[in-house]
């Protein structure tokens, strides 16, 4: 049934109240809008009147149709396409997996199983403005990772992305019993690390919990103030960092714990060498820690062997408060244009990172050592993608309104798109590396 037939049926209804007729017509149009693949709409129809949200979902910011011809990211060896400049587009083929079919997810990320009634948040795909990303193919990535290690190190948002990658890769494995945690640990939230092995490829995909990336030390120095319980040693890497550095693919993130609640309020202060920095601001401490991480990459990681990615800060979307003061996001079911709901600290964290990276990568040599997964802006539009009320499990049901989680993301969901980009950038780097090797061999 096309839109014209649908509207004709509405016209034949005996609607006695004008308002009811308008309501019926509106509902029909909304139904039709979500039933169609938006890309097909933009290719086959010119809609004379569309509101701002529909226009944004269907077209890019310049008014060009999203279906317009684009280069393929992997064939563009000049790297002219910024994959982080784009829009969220409706894709009827998404999601690529269902949470009930992936045994590598924490209960807290299984929003649909935990009672979330809508599903639109699973249907959005990130579309760069000037090129097309390759569709994620777990078999191809696993083949590239044969006999190799993938390591994620960071906070629980990093874990969000790590679990997404486990699910995406497991799609390529018919017998998922060949994927297992090497120490027999369950995939539940805990301190420490988890290592999942894909036996068919002799590949491991690992997660190390290190929310600050630098060392959190207990107990504090003997002469520390009484309210000081721990210190962050800003000039030393996390104690598990020796286990990261030999990875073949290393994905780092930090930022969500660099706030008053996770540091000073809990008695965690800053330290450099033997000097306590009781008056150092959190922002300055964060910048100093980033400098330590960048220097560690330069001096300790063989970036010829290891692809190093640093993922930028993932925005939170608490409306009407923070996570401690009753902020909410449970009524959000669609992406938005712009990022007005994102707290200003999101861009503060982002700018501190960008400035620290710019200072570090002033030389062309260092600038090639780290690839940036710059997901802050694209994720700022996804106020609909968080766990909100649905993170305790189906039996427990939705949590009280004042206990919402507007930081972590539902899976399937937004972190899958981060991994789509990670996959594309990983393959591009492999192609360039192999091309250089082939060129060198030909010259020899």
What DSSP character marks residue 135? Answer: P
- Catalytic site positions: 156, 405, 408
CB under 8 Å to 237, separation ≥6 — which residues? Answer: 213, 214, 215, 292, 293, 296
Q: Are 123 and 91 in contact (CB under 8 A)?
A: yes
Q: How far apart are CA 202 and CA 76, in angstroms?
A: 31
* Residues in CB range of 404: below 8 A, 6 or more apart: 318, 323, 327, 328, 329, 330, 386, 388, 389
Neighbour-count burial of 80, counting CB atoms closer than 10 A to its CB (0-12 exposed, 13-18 middle, 19+ buried)? exposed
Which two structure tokens, joined as six digits, stand for 264?
A: 């000073």
| R_g over Cα of the chain | 24
Q: How far apart are CA 10 and CA 228, in angstroms?
A: 69
* 160 touches 408 (CB < 8 A): yes
How far is C-alpha 16 from the geometric centre of its chain's CA atoms? 49
Pairing of strands 268-272, 275-276: antiparallel
Q: How far is CA 425 from the centre of its chain?
A: 15
- Tokens, residue 210: 């290190």
423, 134 Cβ separation under 8 angstroms: yes
Region class of 203: left (phi > 0), else alpha (psi between -120 and 50), else beta: beta
CB 313 within 8 A of CB 378: no
Looking only at the bridges linking them, the beta strands covering 71-72 and 131-132 are parallel
Tokens of 25: 């017509």
Distances (CA, A) of 276 to 10, 34, 220, 224, 269: 72, 57, 9, 8, 8
Sign of the C-alpha dihedral computed for residues 157, 159, 162 and 166 taken in this order: negative
Which residue shows structure tokens 């790590």? Answer: 162
The sign one gets for the Cα dihedral 160, 163, 168, 169 is positive
For 223, residues 6+ apart whose C-beta sits below 8 A from its C-beta are none
Cα angle, residue 377 at apex, residues 371 and 382 outer, rounded to 5°: 120
């Amino acid at each position: 049934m096309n839109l014209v037939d649908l509207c004709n049926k509405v016209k034949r209804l005996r609607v006695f109240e004008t308002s009811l007729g308008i309501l019926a017509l509106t509902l029909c149009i909304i139904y039709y809008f979500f039933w169609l693949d938006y890309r097909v709409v933009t290719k086959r129809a010119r809609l004379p009147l569309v509101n701002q949200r529909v226009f944004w979902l269907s077209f890019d910011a310049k008014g060009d149709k999203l279906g317009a011809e684009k280069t393929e990211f992997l064939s563009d060896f000049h790297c002219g396409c910024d994959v982080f400049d784009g829009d969220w587009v409706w894709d009827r083929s998404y999601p690529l997996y269902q949470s009930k079919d992936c045994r590598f997810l924490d209960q807290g990320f299984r929003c649909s199983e935990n009672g979330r009634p809508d599903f639109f948040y699973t249907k959005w795909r990130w579309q760069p403005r000037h090129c097309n990303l390759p569709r994620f193919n777990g078999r191809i990535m696993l083949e590239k990772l044969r006999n190799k290690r993938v390591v994620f190190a960071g906070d629980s948002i990093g874990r969000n992305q790590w679990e997404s990658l486990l699910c995406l890769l497991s799609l390529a494995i018919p017998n998922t019993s060949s994927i297992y945690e090497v120490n027999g640990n369950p995939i539940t939230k805990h301190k420490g690390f988890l290592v999942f092995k894909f036996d068919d490829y002799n590949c491991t995909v690992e997660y190390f919990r290190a929310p600050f990336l630098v060392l959190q030390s207990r107990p504090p120095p003997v002469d520390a103030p009484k309210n000081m319980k721990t210190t962050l040693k800003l000039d030393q890497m996390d104690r598990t960092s020796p286990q990261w550095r030999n990875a073949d693919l290393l994905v780092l993130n930090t930022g969500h714990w660099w706030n008053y609640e996770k540091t000073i309020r809990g008695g965690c202060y800053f330290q450099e060498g033997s000097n306590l920095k009781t008056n150092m601001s959190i922002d300055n401490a964060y910048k100093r820690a980033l400098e330590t991480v960048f220097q560690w990459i330069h001096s300790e990681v063989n970036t010829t062997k290891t692809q190093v990615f640093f993922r930028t800060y993932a925005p939170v979307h608490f409306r009407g408060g923070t996570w401690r003061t009753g902020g909410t996001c449970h009524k959000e079911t669609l992406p938005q244009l712009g990022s007005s709901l994102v707290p200003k600290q999101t861009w503060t964290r982002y700018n501190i990172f960008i400035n620290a990276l710019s200072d570090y990568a002033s030389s062309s040599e260092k600038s090639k050592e780290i690839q940036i997964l710059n997901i802050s802006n694209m994720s700022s539009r996804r106020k609909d993608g968080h766990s909100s009320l649905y993170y305790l499990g189906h039996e427990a049901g939705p949590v009280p309104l004042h206990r919402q989680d507007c930081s972590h993301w539902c899976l399937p969901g937004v972190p899958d798109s981060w991994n789509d980009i990670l996959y594309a950038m990983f393959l591009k780097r492999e192609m360039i590396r192999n091309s250089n090797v082939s060129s060198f061999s030909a010259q020899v």
